[in-house]
Chains A and B, each alone.
Chain A
Amino acid sequence: MKRRLYMLKAALAAFAVVLQAYAPLAAEAAQNVGVKVVAVISNEEALGKLVQPSGLFFDEGKKRLYIADSGGKRIVSTNQEYRFLAEFTNPAMSLPVQIVKAASGLFYVVDASKGALLAVDTKLDIVKPVEIKPAQPGRDVFVPGRIAIGKDEKLYVIDKLNKRILVSDAQGAGSRAIVVKDEAGLYGFNDVRVDADNNVYALDAVGARVYVFDASGAEIASFGGRTDKTTLMRFPVSLAVSRTGLIYVADRHAGAVLVYDRTGQLQYAISQKGEREGELSSPTYIMIDEAQRIYVIDNNRIQVFKEAKL
């Protein structure tokens, strides 16, 4: 018995040597393991043509998907089978690029044509600007980037030019700022997400770096960097967080979703560069709903993936 155990240990040690030497290859080889495409949302008669969709939000209560169809100048809703339900347009909303929905039913939309955050009441057909009032004024003008909404109904808005994330209530009041410890290597925030515990995840696309902040806004982790080739990030543009705490990064140039733990250890990659169903040509936005379906905007289509293990 002892001898068999010894043999097993020796065999495992031999394999460990080989695996360690080829760890990056092993990570690449893990592509598409147990991942299937649940749906592809693109041109169809009821939905019409999606033109540069830029933002997504899934309403867990109503089980509806909302799409900021930027080029179409509209917000589109589908059911959880992704069948078209309705669309909303308003002359005061020209280029919706980001969307979240509050428990009140109000939508918060970033309109790129004005560089402004809007509150949208689709039932009453009212669109009003929301003025974010930061406690500390920024050194530069406020231009909203991507947005997220926490379980506490707080809005998390990227203040692009001031390299910070503003956290405010729905009226834009009581705003506090989340900043990085060392701004030297920060090119700016391009995406933000909030998990169930109100931890905040942010991405610097040009800096190829992911930052994690706790609920108080303190930086608790970061990984990546322009010279760090171990993450395999080439041009990361969007991020999302799974229920298990894994960080999913959509990489536009790699045509893949790279999955990391909080220490920055690459776990595996989803998809590969291409045009076919399940492949990604140029992913720009990623979102994960509570059922752990992974939504990826890829040019004028939205692909929905599901991992077998989740």
Chain B
Amino acid sequence: MRLSCKVKLMLLAAFALGFVFLTGLGSAADAETVRNTKGLCLECHAKATQLLNKPVTHKPVRDGKCTACHNPHASKHSGLLSETGGRICFNCHDASKGFSSRVVHRPVQEGKCLACHDVHSSANAGLMKEAGAKACLSCHPDEASKTKKYVHPEVKKGNCLTCHNPHSSANDGLLVKDRKALCASCHNSGKALSKRCVYETTGSDCTGCHSPHSSDSKGMLKAVLHKPFEEKKCSGCHENGAGYKVKAGAGLCIECHKSSMESFNKINSHLTPGINKNPCANCHAPHASDDKRLMKDKGSRVCYRCHADTREYVAKSGHTHPELDKCSDCHESHGSNNRYFLAGGGNVCSSGKCHPTQGTFTHPVGDKVIDPRSKTAMDCTTCHNPMGAPEEFHLRAEKDTGLCVLCHQV
């Protein structure tokens, strides 16, 4: 049978449309057509019946839909799973609902749902591996800080979810509400509170001065106080008679911290305005902090406020440097004459006490060792990317041959 050209072209158009739609809808269709195979699977996997004995059971397990997640014939993933990581979960759990707000919990971002949840059944609600705060504290041990003198009642009770959303949130710190509104939802703001605080606090961010989890100071004040704040010399920074209106700009801070300005006068400088009226306040807390440098947040969180792409890159990377959240161990925070704001240039790794033997027994590096690809000097970062790399030891390529042949062409 010969088809006319017109029919052929109609078929071509239909094929194109079909290709576009089917590639997008295929996975959803698969989820709908899963059959109850419990009886069949349990014929061999008898132990799996134990999965049904726990109080909370995952719905596909309960319904006997083993093939919702497992391929009965073959798979490239262990456990005959049809996908890996969060992808398999998001086949049923809509990723756009509750998992994709502005701030995403790192395990969710990395598709590591099983870091918190049991997949088949659990003794805990929400298929949680651990009940209550135990689940959170396995990764965030510092947040308990129950050894401190004053502990927030909700922390004491292990109710992390009173303030935090475990998957994603529009607010920093995965808070369920904006910081200002969150505290006020339990602690009535207003005149009474202002009197106790002696400052006008309505509408302000409580965590600017108070530690939300625990503290050794009365009133749960943070550990380190800015001197003018401690001495109640408010007018040093705030306009007299103008409520809590703050004097604008970095110029205010430089009045006292003159030498700090010099640390910005480098080839690479972090003296940028950011979203605050005072650029210093992008990173530093003007009143109190749990960090001796009065940092606004913990470790890399301060940096990631601006360097969101770096946060994403690190999260997706297979191998990263240990303690990567301590950015200022390698980078100068204010300014540097070295690329990437590195404190000791590309060989910062061997310049301190971290890797003192580096360069003495391995591949030579330094000004006289030229990378044949870029014609520039080799340093540690030529082969390693501590921010994240595909290979162990954060190597940029496979260590046996792949890395070497990047430069040593056969």
| Chain A residues at the B interface, C-beta cutoff of 8 Å | 3, 6-7, 10-11, 13-15, 17-18, 21, 40, 42-43, 49, 52, 54, 70-71, 95, 97, 112-115, 139-141, 143, 160-163, 187-188, 190, 206, 226, 234-235, 253, 274-277, 281-282, 298-301
Contact = CB atoms under 8 A, between A and B. Distances in A.
A33 B100 CA distance: 35
A49 B375 CA distance: 10
Given A7-B5, A43-B370, A43-B376, A188 B10 contact: no
B265 A115 contact: yes
Nearest to A95: B267
Contact of A54 (B261, B267, B277): B267
Nearest to B264: A115
Contacts of A7: 5-6, 9
B178 to A, nearest CB: 16
B32 to A, nearest CB: 23
Interface stretch (B13-21, B57-65, B206-214): B13-21
A160 B277 contact: no
A284 B264 CA distance: 18
Given A141-B254, A160-B273, A275 B279 contact: no
Contacts of B339: 52, 282, 299
Contacts, number: 131
Interface string B358-399: 000000000100110111110000100000000000000000
A114 B251 contact: no
B28 interface: no
A15 B375 contact: no
A298 B374 CA distance: 9
A299 B275 CA distance: 28
Top 6 nearest A-B pairs (CB, nearest first) are: A140-B249, A188-B273, A275-B373, A14-B13, A10-B9, A14-B16
A74 to B, nearest CB: 13
Given A161-B273, A187-B273, A234-B309, A97 B370 contact: no
Interface string B162-195: 0000000000000000000000000000000000
19 contacts: A6-B6, A10-B13, A18-B16, A43-B370, A54-B267, A70-B267, A70-B337, A112-B267, A112-B269, A115-B261, A139-B248, A139-B277, A140-B250, A160-B273, A187-B306, A274-B373, A275-B373, A275-B406, A276-B373
Contacts of A3: 5-6
B275 to A, nearest CB: 6
B16 A187 contact: no
Given A14-B12, A253-B310, 14 more contacts: A3-B5, A10-B10, A17-B13, A42-B376, A49-B377, A70-B267, A95-B267, A114-B265, A139-B277, A141-B251, A161-B249, A206-B274, A274-B373, A275-B382
Nearest to A8: B9
Given A42-B374, A139-B277, A71 B13 contact: no
A6 to B, nearest CB: 7
Contacts of B278: 140
Contacts of A14: 9, 12-13, 15-16
Contacts of B306: 187, 206
Contacts of A300: 374, 376-377
B373 A277 contact: yes
B308 interface: yes
Interface of B: 5-6, 9-10, 12-13, 15-17, 19-20, 248-251, 254, 261, 264-267, 269, 271-275, 277-279, 306-310, 313, 335, 337-340, 367, 370-371, 373-377, 382, 406
Interface-centre pick from B10, B12, B16, B273 (highest chain A CB count, 10 A): B273
A95 B272 contact: no
Nearest to A116: B265
A112 B269 CA distance: 8
Given A54-B267, A95-B337, A163 B273 contact: yes
A235 B382 CA distance: 21
A187 B267 contact: no
B374 A275 contact: yes
Contacts of B6: 3, 6-7, 10
Nearest to B374: A275
Given A14-B13, A17-B17, A97-B267, A188 B274 contact: yes
Contacts of A54: 267
B337 A71 contact: yes
Contacts of B9: 7, 10-11, 14
Contact of B250 (A6, A113, A161, A298): A161
Given A11-B12, A95-B266, A226-B308, A206 B376 contact: no
Contacts of B307: 235
B264 A18 contact: no
A112 B265 contact: yes
Nearest to B11: A14
